[in-house]
Structure 1
């Protein structure tokens, strides 16, 4: 029998992409406890400051507590300096917490944001606490299906719309192949003009090979594929 008291983990697809002028972050919304979907519409893109967000994967509890600590420290940092923290400062704080507690934490994070010094930046902090600056980063269980796709599809100098379409397409591909990813797609666009959040319902995502059309219930599938029920 499935243990519903098992720790909630996020079999996940998270993505961060830089473009010419900013960054786009994207994630699916399925949080699971083993084979049980604990939350089908969770928000895995968490605000750290006005200009920096983080995508969370791995243990939901671990990623949330790291985000909460970093948000608190960055708030103090902003008050002391009188200006917003940079993306690099936020990423280094996450790296410090992740590395210092690497034996206890099971979380991989992607930090993305914009600041006036370096523009749009993406940093990956995988399991163990390494800090990697990358033009694009992918993480979670769905990422293993996407490396070849990103090698082919990502390019320098993309505009905002191209970058967001790439992120939505990549998350929908991972949802199609990875049983631990699913639900809706959320994106966050960060640039010099501010932050834009977008939401793409699951029934509006493109369907890939052998995927079924979305249905309201199992009865809809049975009635469309199976014989008529026997009348008594």
Structure 2
């Protein structure tokens, strides 16, 4: 029974996630894994976390799936109205500021971090990060690795409220700050990797390979990330989506090829020795 209790099947869906945005010489590349989790239960192994906002702007979602979907729907609607009124597509910065405004205005309720990337004729390829709280960061590359921690929060507050008197406002406030600290805890190794691997003036192929390699590394190390890798490349020529199944991803040293078991060897007519 304890294992069922820990599974948290009814916990909120989380894009327990690795999302990445990288600029290169001519555009941007966005990448994400595809695992959606509910507590420790994998609810979806092939979700698409890169959402289209306009023809030239896309958004990577992490944290609460419901929150990030709602924010992206509102931003898409406002950008559509903006395009109709001005008669031209919105810039990447306009889209990023709309995401920031919605995130900041609802920072006590939202549990999501997002990356906005795209290309426009005024500033070229741009990447913006909007973490929890609504800060807007323009960077050459942005990383967000969100751990699925919804099952940890009730335990934390149960231990906290055992020693002090907790009201609802205090719990909500502390929960938001706890999430703000933990949601990107898994990105430490990726930031070190990017500090070494990222360089200015990369080609499109180099940027795409970097994103795929980084997401693969996060999948190998982060239990909240998994599935396939999806990328979106945006430049002056348009948008290109790519999909990398698990067998096409880079392999790491601990991911060994499966070997025959002893039972397989005994049942085989010509058993082969096990490889150590």
* Shorter-chain TM-score above 0.5: yes
Distance 2:243 2:266 in 1: 42
TM-score of the aligned structures, taking structure 2 as reference length:
0.78
Partner in structure 1 of residue 261 of structure 2: 225
The C-alpha deviation readout for 1:73-119, integer Å capped at 9, x for no partner, is: 00000000100000000000000000000000000000000000000
Distance 1:165 1:198 in 2: 12
Higher helix share: 2
TM-score of the aligned structures, taking structure 1 as reference length:
0.93
Partner in structure 2 of residue 84 of structure 1: 89
Equivalent residues in 2 for 1:91-170, closer than 5 Å: 91-141=96-146, 142-170=186-214
Alpha carbons 2:27, 2:233 under 8 Å: kept: yes
The C-alpha deviation readout for 1:165-189, integer Å capped at 9, x for no partner, is: 0000000000010111110000000
Gapped runs of 5+ residues in structure 1? 214-220
Alpha carbons 1:55, 1:111 under 8 Å: kept: yes
Runs (4+) off by over 4 Å: 228-231
CA RMSD of aligned residues (A): 1.5
Indicate how the Cα distance of structure 1 residues 143 and 228 shifts in structure 2: closer, same or farther if over 3 A, else same: same
Partner in structure 2 of residue 41 of structure 1: 46
Shift of 1:228: 4.5
Alpha carbons 2:97, 2:136 under 8 Å: kept: yes
Distance 2:256 2:69 in 1: 33
